[in-house]
Amino acid sequence: MTNASVHIRSARRAAITLLFAAAVYETLARSGIFAAALLPTLPQVAQTLVAMLVDGTMVWHVAYTLYRVIFGFSLAVAVGVPLGILMGRFRAVENFFLPLASALMPIPSLAWVPVFILWFGIGNTTTILIVFYAATFPMLLNAWSGVRAVNPLWLRAAGVMGASERRLFWKVIVPGASPFIITGLRQAFLRAWIAVVGAEMLAASNWGLGWTIFDAKEFLNADVMLASLAVIGCIGFIFERLVFGSLERITVIRWGMMRAAKD
């Protein structure tokens, strides 16, 4: 079909754009208008990246960052999903937690960093808690609206078919709310990823991708910054496309429910 040829043309143009952008950057970097330390050439950046990978420093930075983001994110899921579902099911829980969530949500998680540093010191605890703060609200709100959006017809149908309250919960409400929960996971991870980089800049010591970037500024190591940025981009891409993309594919898209989550 013509569709495929359009695809190929788009891919070719994308490649041309990227090559062109790279060429512009490279020309600028080599022109000597800017200091070499501020604008390293692409081969230099690649070299730095390889060197950091080979000597293991980059691997450690990645490991620390992943540990913090996954820890904080898991904590957020463990709190956000059950609480959100309870809020959706029980009026009293909703009445109590919704005002609190609405008041805390508009505060950017990174605004808490200095406070958390005072309370918990510099290091993992603060970073993980900031990630937790950032990721909890999208998780909570999506789970909550997911339960509220469960089609009452399904509840009635299941009731007629003799489902008990416990089964109703596991067999109808949880799968019914799952498009929202999966959207929530995705949004929460995105927030967590931003939060971890910011928190590491402000509150980490010695390890972590955010910390490397910020630390590199002191020594004018723009090549280290750009190499770390590339790694951050890759990890973000892997999670966004591969992890959450495939999670969506094997669940809600197969059930034809994705529309509901997007509306």
Partner 1 sequence: MTMVSIVSPISNGYSTGPEKIGSRWRAFARTAFPFLVVGGIWEIVAHLGIFPQRLFPTLEDVAITFVQLTISGILPHHVIETLIRLFCGFALAGTMGILIGIAMGQSRRAEDIFLPLVSIGAPIPGLAYAPLFLLWFGLGNLSTILLVAFVSVFPVIINTWTGGKAVREIWVRSAKAMGSDDRQLFRYVILPGTLPYILTGLRLGLAQAWRILVAVEMLAAVPWGLGWLIFGAREFLNTDVMLAAIVVIGGIGLALEKFVFKRLEDYTVVRWGMMVS
Closest to partner 1 by CB, 43 or 233: 233
| Span from 41-49, 96-104, 147-155, 250-258 in contact with partner 1 (CB under 8 A) | 96-104
Q: Is 38 in the site for partner 1 (CB under 8 A)?
A: yes
For the CB of residue 20, give the shortest distance to partner 1 in the complex, in Å.
9
Closest to partner 1 by CB, 237 or 255: 237
Report 188-247 residues binding partner 1 (CB under 8 A): 193-194, 197-198, 201-202, 209-210, 213-214, 216-217, 220, 222, 225-226, 228-229, 232-233, 236-237, 240
Interface with partner 1 (CB under 8 A), residue total 54
Closest to partner 1 by CB, 14 or 63: 14
HEC sequence for the chain: CHHHHHHHHHHHHHHHHHHHHHHHHHHHHHHCCCCCCCCCCHHHHHHHHHHHHHCCHHHHHHHHHHHHHHHHHHHHHHHHHHHHHHHHHCHHHHHHHHHHHHHHCCCCHHHHHHHHHHHHCCCHHHHHHHHHHHHHHHHHHHHHHHHHCCCHHHHHHHHHCCCCHHHHHHHHHHHHHHHHHHHHHHHHHHHHHHHHHHHHHHHCCCCCHHHHHHHHHHCCCHHHHHHHHHHHHHHHHHHHHHHHHHHHHHHHHCCCCHHHHHC
Q: Is 97 in the site for partner 1 (CB under 8 A)?
A: yes
| Span from 9-17, 51-59, 163-171, 178-186 in contact with partner 1 (CB under 8 A) | 9-17
Q: Which residues bind partner 1 (CB under 8 A)?
A: 9-10, 13-15, 17-18, 21, 38, 95-100, 102-104, 106-115, 117-119, 193-194, 197-198, 201-202, 209-210, 213-214, 216-217, 220, 222, 225-226, 228-229, 232-233, 236-237, 240
